[in-house]
Amino acid sequence: MPITIQTCTPGTGFTANCYIITDTTSNVSAIIDPGDCDAALEQLVTGLDVRYILLTHRHFDHICGTARLKALLPAAKVAIHVNDACGLEHGEDSLALQRGIDFIPCMPDILLVGNDILPLGGTNIQVLHTPGHTIGGVCYIIDDNIFSGDTLFCEGIGRLDLPTGNFEAMNASLRALFALKGDYNLFPGHNEATTLAAEQNRGT
């Protein structure tokens, strides 16, 4: 299999999923949505050749481990959509300060715009801009897997009542996801994995 996927839930208290993707042909890795950088995550990434820290959107429960992880893995490039990069730099925009969450600012290395392609060894990571939960939300498509952040869950979608949430944008993003051709596994930012077809059939 071209990639392996490890799932962990760092200790933010909000059970957000963090994923470690490794290209098996080259043994290079990417980390998606480190909501915290706790001992368990540090142990999982120790010794890995991590090329990217990929963020699906600006919220604290998906990004608050980024600065510490970047210090641990200085060669890894931090990527986030240009419209959500403010969340990495300002605790107010990540909602961390409003929740009393410890926040360490971090500067992005890569500002995504949508339809970006990031090489990971012999694998390509495709970026799909999926605003709705936030204005800069993205999904990462790797082979037949979609890492959907808080855009699409098992039996649900991301909240629309937070800053920059937008109902019309979310509907457009869901239409774009459901228009993808193929049989995709779906790895969301919260809750268990599912498939894109299952969520489409449920009318999520």
Q: Are 30 and 50 in contact, with CB atoms under 8 Å apart?
A: yes
Q: What is the pLDDT of residues 67-79, one digit of tens each?
A: 999 999 999 999 9
Q: Give the model's pLDDT for residue 38.
A: 87
Domain boundaries, the chain: 3-202
Q: Which tens digits make up the pLDDT trace of 145-180?
A: 999 999 999 999 999 999 999 999 999 999 999 999
**pLDDT attached to residue 34:** 95
Question: Residue 10 pLDDT more than 80?
Answer: no
Place of tokens 């082979």: 143
Name 75's Cβ contacts closer than 8 Å, sequence gap at least 6. 50, 51
Q: What whole-number percentage of the chain has pLDDT above 70?
A: 97
Using one digit for the tens of pLDDT, what is the confidence trace for 149-158?
999 999 999 9
Kindly report, residue by residue over 118-144, the tens digit of the pLDDT.
Answer: 999 999 999 999 999 999 999 999 999
Strands 145-149 and 152-153: unpaired
More confident residue, 174 or 40: 174
CA 84 to CA 112: how far, in whole Å?
A: 9
Beta bridge partners of 3: 23
**pTM, entire model:** 0.96
CATH superfamily of 3-202: Ribonuclease Z/Hydroxyacylglutathione hydrolase-like (3.60.15.10)
pLDDT of residue 11: 63
